[in-house]
């Protein structure tokens, strides 16, 4: 009987097995050699059978928790000095940080960077998912991660800029520059935040944008001039307020990023936050959102303007936004806001996701659309992936006023896909370029594009399977995912995720 083992050692082993008495007849002086060969062969067989020592997988971690990533927490990854740093929501909704060295091909981490109150709240039976991490690297090289908040909890006191829900917005800073292995939790930002977006300006000033509470809250920013060690008090720029014509409250979802020079640009949509039983179809509290807006913030003068340069009153309310910042009206369609970028002419481009309200809590599936300012008017939104129905999310780059590239999470039947879509006519139409990742019977959650991204590492992807509450996390670039050894990607899981099933 021969043993089916690949490699040069199979010749030695099988020759010996053909003559079972061969081992007994070998001279005493060769016993040590035979022992070594036999031991190596057995190790080779074990390795081949288990695959643990040599198998590579295309994900870098398998301990993502819940909805581990979202575009609104921006940036979740940064490329800096040959290293891509990535973050995601891991066990107990804590922030986890890993890094990939593009020169050596080596992974480091992931390491837990802080402790989230969301994953340890009293009575927790499901994921909250609002405290996913956001990264920033200051001018001294220290890495900052913002995480853990969904509006703050009642034990934090009164939120003067909105209402509360759960968790506490937190900030952790690496103990050493560009070192993700150890972290300090610092108390320097408002606990009432959620949806963090971190921006470092050319002069080193840091702006942290977020919603100051739960649904019925202002959107604010906090500014730091000392590399994120201290922050000024929150400043409101989008105002929530009670409506007088409906049993509802005006609210918002925003996405902020550095623009040209001293400017920060903001894309946002309007959230009609109904009182529980006032929603016309009887659905109670929903995520009803509409339209796409744009404005710009000059951090040097403190002035906010619309795309035409008109000054805006701050904090902006719904009435003035409808008059001065509206880029696209979606009518009865429900939206899910995306990102905003500038082209080489300084004109803004907006990604927004919208679709028909089908009566669900979230309305219905929403597809990614693109629109742009041409210097005098906003274009009509164009569907990026060309589908009539379905769900997609993604981010984009604009290399010129004509050339636009989206990377989208999408679905193909029951398969989840990550695909690239390109336009060479300013967004009038898009065509599929290539597919970067596909997984059966799954859906994907994605980050925004990694800041200053390397071609091999454009965005972070979490695979959501109905078969397990744990999420595989991928780092995907132009040539697909960057994997690692299975044993290194297999991590400690969060056993508390099964509590909702038990109850």
Q: Where are the alpha helices (DSSP H) in 269-418?
A: 318-324
| Residue-wise pLDDT tens digits, 406-428 | 999 999 999 999 999 999 999 99
Find all residues with CB under 8 Å of 324, minimum gap 6, and list them.
Answer: 306, 310, 312
State the average pLDDT over residues 271-296.
95
Strands (E), 92-165: 95-101, 106-112, 134-137, 143-150
Question: Predicted confidence band at 498 (pLDDT cuts at 50, 70, 90)?
Answer: low
- Residue 136 is predicted with a pLDDT of 98
- Residue 481 is predicted with a pLDDT of 98
Return the closest-CA partner of residue 76 out of 140, 132, 115.
Answer: 132
Distance CA 273, CA 151 (A): 15
Residue 248: pLDDT over 70? yes
Residue 23: pLDDT over 60? no
- Residue 46 is predicted with a pLDDT of 41
Is 124 or 398 the better-scoring residue by pLDDT? 398
- Tokens for 500, please give them: 């909702």
Cβ atoms of residues 76 and 133 within 8 Å: yes
Mind giving me the DSSP string for 414-434?
TEEEEEEEEESSTTS--EEEE
3-state secondary structure of 488: helix
Catalytic residues: 130, 195
Is 25 or 89 the better-scoring residue by pLDDT? 89
Is 134 or 21 the better-scoring residue by pLDDT? 134
State the average pLDDT over residues 208-233.
98
- Residue 187 is predicted with a pLDDT of 96
Cβ atoms of residues 76 and 447 within 8 Å: yes
Instruction: Give me the chain's average pLDDT, please.
Output: 89
Distance CA 146, CA 170 (A): 6
- Residue 401 is predicted with a pLDDT of 86
- Residue 335 is predicted with a pLDDT of 97
- Residue 466 is predicted with a pLDDT of 80
State the average pLDDT over residues 322-331.
98
Provide the sign of the torsion angle of the four alpha carbons 361, 363, 368, 373, taken in this order.
Answer: negative
- Residue 236 is predicted with a pLDDT of 98
Residue 141: pLDDT over 80? yes
- Residue 501 is predicted with a pLDDT of 44
Residue 497: pLDDT over 90? no
- Residue 44 is predicted with a pLDDT of 40
Minimum mean pLDDT among 48-62, 140-154, 367-381: which range? 48-62
Provide the sign of the torsion angle of the four alpha carbons 231, 156, 269, 358, taken in this order.
Answer: positive
CATH of 56-502, one of 1.10.730, 3.90.1690, 2.120.10, 3.40.50: 2.120.10
Question: Predicted confidence band at 320 (pLDDT cuts at 50, 70, 90)?
Answer: very high
State the average pLDDT over residues 375-391.
92
- Residue 457 is predicted with a pLDDT of 98
Is 122 or 485 the better-scoring residue by pLDDT? 485
Residue 12 burial by CB count (10 A; 0-12/13-18/19+): exposed, middle or buried? Answer: middle
CB atoms within 10 A of CB 60: 26
Using alpha carbons, list the distances in angstroms from residue 230 to 116, 180, 189, 207, 222.
21, 21, 8, 11, 10
- Residue 26 is predicted with a pLDDT of 35
| Residue-wise pLDDT tens digits, 107-136 | 999 999 999 999 988 777 788 999 999 999
CB atoms within 10 A of CB 204: 14
Is 94 or 126 the better-scoring residue by pLDDT? 94
Minimum mean pLDDT among 259-263, 275-279, 314-318: which range? 275-279
Q: 15-19, 166-170, 275-279 — which one is most confidently predicted on average?
A: 166-170
- Residue 468 is predicted with a pLDDT of 84
| Residue-wise pLDDT tens digits, 26-75 | 344 444 433 433 443 443 444 444 444 458 999 999 999 999 999 999 99
Could you give the residue range(s) of every CATH 2.120.10 domain in the chain? 56-502
3-state secondary structure of 13: helix
413, HSE (Cβ side, Cα atoms, 13 Å): 5
- Residue 54 is predicted with a pLDDT of 59
Q: Let me know how long the chain is.
A: 503
3-state secondary structure of 340: strand
């Amino acid at each position: 009987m021969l043993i089916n083992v690949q490699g040069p050692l199979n010749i030695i082993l099988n020759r010996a097995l053909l003559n079972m008495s061969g081992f007994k007849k070998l001279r005493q002086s060769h016993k040590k050699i035979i022992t070594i060969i036999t031991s190596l062969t057995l190790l080779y067989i074990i390795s081949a059978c288990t695959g643990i020592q040599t198998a590579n997988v295309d994900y870098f971690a398998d301990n993502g928790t819940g909805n581990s990533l979202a575009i609104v927490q921006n940036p979740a990854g940064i490329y800096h000095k040959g290293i891509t740093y990535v973050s995601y929501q891991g066990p107990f909704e804590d922030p986890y940080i890993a890094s990939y060295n593009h020169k050596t091909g080596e992974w480091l981490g992931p390491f837990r960077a802080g402790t989230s109150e969301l994953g340890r709240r009293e009575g927790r039976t499901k994921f909250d998912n609002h405290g996913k991490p956001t990264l920033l690297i200051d001018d001294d090289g220290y890495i900052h991660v913002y995480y853990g908040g969904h509006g703050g909890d009642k034990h934090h006191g009164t939120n003067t800029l909105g209402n509360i829900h759960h968790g506490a917005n937190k900030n952790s800073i690496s103990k050493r520059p560009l070192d993700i292995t150890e972290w300090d939790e610092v108390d320097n930002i408002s606990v009432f935040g959620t949806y963090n977006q971190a921006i470092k300006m050319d002069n080193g000033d840091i702006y942290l944008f977020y919603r100051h509470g739960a649904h019925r809250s202002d959107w604010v920013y906090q500014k730091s001039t000392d590399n994120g060690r201290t922050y000024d008090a929150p400043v409101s720029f989008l105002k929530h307020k009670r409506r007088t014509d409906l049993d509802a409250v005006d609210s918002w979802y925003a996405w902020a990023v550095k623009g040209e020079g001293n400017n920060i640009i903001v894309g946002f949509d309007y959230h009609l936050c109904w009182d529980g039983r006032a929603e016309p179809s009887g659905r109670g509290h929903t995520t009803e959102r509409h339209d796409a807006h744009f404005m710009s913030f000059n951090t040097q003068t403190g002035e906010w303007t619309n795309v035409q340069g008109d000054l805006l009153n701050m904090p902006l309310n719904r009435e003035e936004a409808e008059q001065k910042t509206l880029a696209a009206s979606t009518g009865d369609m429900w939206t899910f806001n995306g990102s905003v970028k500038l082209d080489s002419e300084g004109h803004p481009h907006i990604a927004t996701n919208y679709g028909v309200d089908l009566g669900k809590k979230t309305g219905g599936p929403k597809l990614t659309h693109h629109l742009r300012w041409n210097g005098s008017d906003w274009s009509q939104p164009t569907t990026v992936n060309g589908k009539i129905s379905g769900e997609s999310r993604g981010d984009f780059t604009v290399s010129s006023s004509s050339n636009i590239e989206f990377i989208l999470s999408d679905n193909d039947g029951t398969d989840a896909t990550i695909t690239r879509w390109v336009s060479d006519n300013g967004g009038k139409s898009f065509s599929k370029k290539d597919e970067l990742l596909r997984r059966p019977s799954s859906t994907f959650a994605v980050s925004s594009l990694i800041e200053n991204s390397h071609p091999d590492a454009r965005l972070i992807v979490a695979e959501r399977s109905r078969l397990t509450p744990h999420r595989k996390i991928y780092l995907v670039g132009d040539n697909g995912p960057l994997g690692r050894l299975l044993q290194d990607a297999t991590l400690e899981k969060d056993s508390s995720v099964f509590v909702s099933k038990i109850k």
